[in-house]
A and B are shown apart, each in its own frame.
Chain A
Amino acid sequence: MQFKVFSLILLLSVAISSCGDKTGKGDLAIQFLATYDGAPLVMLQEYPYNDTLDILFQKFNFYISNLTLLEEGSEKEREVLEIDFVEFDAIDDVAKAALGFVVLMEDLPAHSYKGLNLGLGVPAGLNATQESDYPDSHPLGKASHYWSGWGSYIFTMINGKVDSDDDGQFDDSSVLYHTGSDDSYRTKEIAHQFRVEEGETTTIVLEVDLHKLFLDTDGVHYIDIIANPATHDITNKTITNLVMDNFQNALYVVE
């Protein structure tokens, strides 16, 4: 009887002490870097858009969702993140651009993985909610990123200004490329061997080239942003969907 009680106490002690135990667990950091034609993306810095236009950006941000890790040696996918918001809006110099924006997932099982899947935008279930359903601090609680006219979150927000007369003043036109609605949601699978090590933080670097988001359907030229300065027309999502298609192709892992 005494042994049984002792065993029970021992078991309880082990159970209690294992609460918060990080044995066999590690962290995964995904470091997002934004570039423009391979150069670090810095807000308010001038970049050539095409042969005749220069552009600068004030905002570049997007939602990522349903992030899963593909386990090595099996078909198992481990869901590690439902939704997060990645933004480069505060990057105002090259040093900050090199740091990018980090999404950290803690206490993942130490394991080898062969890749990851992630959603670009807000998946339909969550996109059926609205910003008032969340506190301000939640990624989906951003009033600035819910577009009631579309009944959708703004999946990617690209705000820029254009100098078309080469006078150095970016006051000729604005670019407001905001994507959203369920049919603009995209997923991206990235093959990449990595291991989450126990007690360590493993970092994967994902880079997105913003200029590539503006590629036209021929994949060579860029969208006429003077004729199409905004993507707010709920009845015409051609550019919205094109931008999201481009986003899929413009995001890649830095080995």
Chain B
Amino acid sequence: MTKYKQIRIVLNNCGVIDPENIEESIARDSYMALGKCITEMTPQDVIKEIKESGLRGRGGGGFPTGLKWEIASKNHADQKYVVCNADEGDPGAFMDRSVLEGDPHAVLEAMAICGYAIGATKGLIYIRAEYPMAIKRLKIAIDQALEYGLLGNNIFGSKFDFNIELRYGAGAFVCGEETSLIHSMEGLRGEPTIKPPFPAEKGYLGKPTNVNNVETFACVPIIIRKGASWFNKIGTEKSKGTKVFALAGKVNNVGLIEVPMGTTLREVIFEIGGGIQNGKKFKAVQTGGPSGGCLTEKHLDTPIDFDNLIAAGSMMGSGGMIVMDEDNCMVSVAKFYLDFTVEESCGKCSPCRIGNKRLYELLERITKGQGVMDDLQRLRNMSNVIKDTSLCGLGQTSPNPVLSTLDNFYDEYVAHIKDHKCPAGQCKDLMKYFIIAENCVGCTACARVCPVGAITGEKKEPHFINSEICIKCGACMERCKFDAIIIK
């Protein structure tokens, strides 16, 4: 389609327009799609267009957006709601934030279109309070849109009314799950309930509610403007359009990227990302945030889309992408993500509340060299049961980092357990500092800098580190001018 690897659909206006000036948005076709919907299309036409576009939910689930709208449109009630999920909570992810800060009108317009399609007159944006800039710009955008008659009552002189309010989240990861999000908006404890009933049937205040993520909404206006057939030419057979990723980690070019579905991980990491920093070796890429999995060399040529990533043992998630090199310990990576899910579990169901904690404890033992080989079997069984029995998406995916690293980096686990070694040299408890006698000139610099007096030796004689006393702070290694100190 283009010689460039990236195309901008969602991020089209970001950085181009002044997001606090609606006229700049309008100059770039904002609200054209809403106008077209209201004046030229029936709600059924709108839903049909979105269905044909093949747009799938960008929050991670990948549920067909048009179908979701259709279900909500068919549930009749005196009041329905459109909710925008702006509770972006993956560590290191800021796709939604960029859209809200850079192009707020795209989201407002799409919500109004959704309201028109499903028969809702009220929209709510559930946004985390940690996004003050996004909140400020959304407020300005809403005010300006109201002033211009693009939101509010009788939009475009029609009988269609649509008003949008903000609701603030307190930064709980689980509130990105739609039933939790709705409970939180209702002032209740942010925890999920069993579906069905789905929000489309019984959502906010018990009324039919359609919840979509920021990025999903941001795709909507352009689909209406350019048509489903334009949109569905981009991407793979079952995943259409583009996806924004927050590329991070050990690549040379980090930041937000937007690529068509079907782009390979190799293209993203080595072409767009510019390869691994300092010429180190690529080891793994974590996609899908804390709920995703670690993919390796063998997955590099997999075209990125919803289904391929799941098949590979990871997931699309909301678009976090963290690249790791040979210096990353994969057991520690799994532990890092578990630490996050343990912290973010709501506590409602036992496998997630307790099981994740137990997984974390086991990983911690392994990184300390206290693991036994049976632990690997236990890790796998606990992970499978947590996935199989948890109530919501959080627990159903939280063991993914453990399972994918067990699958792809089993040897690394074994090295920690059997050899008490961390091949990446990251697990402090397994590291030992040594002095290479041949290189040591006996300058005593290391002994003087050691905070715990672990280094002994005569002047001008090779020194020795007592590993029983050593706290592995690394100060000696830093001080040594003769490369005499190594970690093993």
Determine if chain A interacts with chain B: no
